[in-house]
Amino acid sequence: MNSILRLLSFIALLTSALHAASPPNFVVIFIDDMGYGDIGPFGSKINRTPNLDRMAEEGRTLTSFYVAAPVCTPSRAALMTGCYPRRVGLGQGSGHVVLFPGDAHALNPDEITVAEVLKGAGYATGCFGKWHLGDQPGFLPTDQGFDRYFGIPYSNDMWPGHTGWSFPRLPILEGREVVDEVKTMDDQGTLCRRFTDAATAFIREHRDEPFFVYLPHAYVHHPRQAAPAFMEAAKGDVTQAQIEEVDWSVGQVLDTLRELGLAENTLVLFTSDNGGTKGNVNAPLRGGKGSAFEGGLREPTVVWWPGTIPAGSRSDEILTSMDVMPTFAHLAGAEAPTDRILDGQDIAPVLLGKAGAKSPHDAFFYHQGNTLRAVRSGPWKLFVTGELYHLDSDIGESKNVAGEHPDIVARLKQKLTEFEAEITTHSRPVGKTHATRTLLPRPGVEGDEGYRPTLELGANKPKKKKAGPAPQK
């Protein structure tokens, strides 16, 4: 009997050791346009987010986590490549701040994405949701390292319901093929569930091998609609309904991992692509989507890996979405690209709560499009226009203290000058193609004309009001 017990104990220890040594799975949940104060772990008293609350209780909140741009396309380019968007030619789209349907520009296939790094290390890779890094052949997720893709190729407002542009019908893709479309607001309200279901199905399918799931939700981008149950619970407040449905999605992912016994071998990162817009809460930050103030790029972020990341912990260190690729590569036992400049760094010691771990970033640079706007170093943030803020004591950027700290201003101005020169010299070309066409036509337009790229058509001019009758004399 003792021999049997010793054998069973040895098997248990061996199993535990093998489990601990296996590379972790990764899940990135990337929300669209969420405000810093929209969820419970970051102070929301409006939205019910029990799953995110629990995620924070079991994980780590990152209070100074930045994306590299305050709008969709460049922010996503940075996450995928570990680089400032300007570095990879995607500080903006071709003729607009983001890519449009049928755009000739995209993330260059010569760039190496986090999906390609992990796929090369034996990971199954899936993307479920909004891509927004190119919709033409050769530029879709399955061309950029993902084994599977189900989602929309760009923002959910790029559809016929938008009055400012002549957008085509909004496609839903499976791989490279259009399999459905978003026709109505009710269809918009199904996107969170559909992307969540696809992501959890992928996790189940690949439970016995390492996987990387990228879940870039279309929520909470306008136009907003949620599933009926969430609309009812929020009493018609569509922003609240969407945020609470996103929280449901987080719960579905985490519960799936728990059910399959994968929780202790999976790192889950929750964040947003940029700051919130109308209806969102960015407080206590100043500004929101599109802004170079903190509200444009500083995101509500939670990281979770039970048994590895200390529960209920918090970090105020400067971290960025560009750090995802080198950090995941390190944790997976893979190698991030060494043949090109990366701006991201390995932040595993900070994420894992190692004693004394500090940010590897001496400076973080804020952009709007291709224009450098500000730099943060430690607690200090200097705008190119000369305003200086001490973020540790003034997170809302309300008091310009440049006059009191000329030495800090001079030091940070030098950083701005050096970085501008460096990134101008060492940037790489954007992906380009020719003879583009949209994936679906514009409603009511026949033949090739219906597939003309949106930017070729230009913005719709506001209709002039008809003059009323001449006043009576």
Q: Which residues are catalytic?
A: 72, 132
CB 233 within 8 A of CB 241: yes
- Which residues, in sequence order, are CB contacts of 35 under 8 Å at separation 6+? 272, 275, 276, 280, 281, 282, 283, 288, 295, 300
Task: Please say whether the dihedral angle defined by the alpha carbons of residues 137, 138, 144 and 148, taken in this order, is positive or negative.
Answer: positive
Please state the separation of Cα 52 from the chain's center in Å.
17
| Cβ neighbour number for residue 21 with a 10 Å cutoff | 8
Nearest Cα residue to 242 out of 291, 193, 197, 290: 193
∠ CA 73-76-79, nearest 5°, is 155
DSSP state of 459: B
d(CA 113, CA 92): 18
Half-sphere exposure of 369 (CA within 13 A, CB side): 8
Q: Does residue 254 contact residue 263 with C-beta atoms inside 8 Å?
A: yes
191-205 vs 238-259: helix crossing angle, rounded to 10: 10
Per DSSP, helices labelled H in 150-190 are: 185-188
Query: How far is Cα 36 from Cα 191, in angstroms, rounded to an integer?
Result: 23
Residue 198, φ and ψ in degrees, nearest 5: -65, -40
* Side-chain-side CA neighbours of residue 312 (13 Å): 0
Token reading at 168: 């085509």
Distance of alpha carbon 26 from the chain centroid: 14
- The candidate with the shortest Cα–Cα distance to 135, out of 165, 155, 162, is 155
In DSSP terms, which residues pair with 389 in a beta bridge?
A: 381
Q: Are 332 and 23 in contact (CB under 8 A)?
A: yes
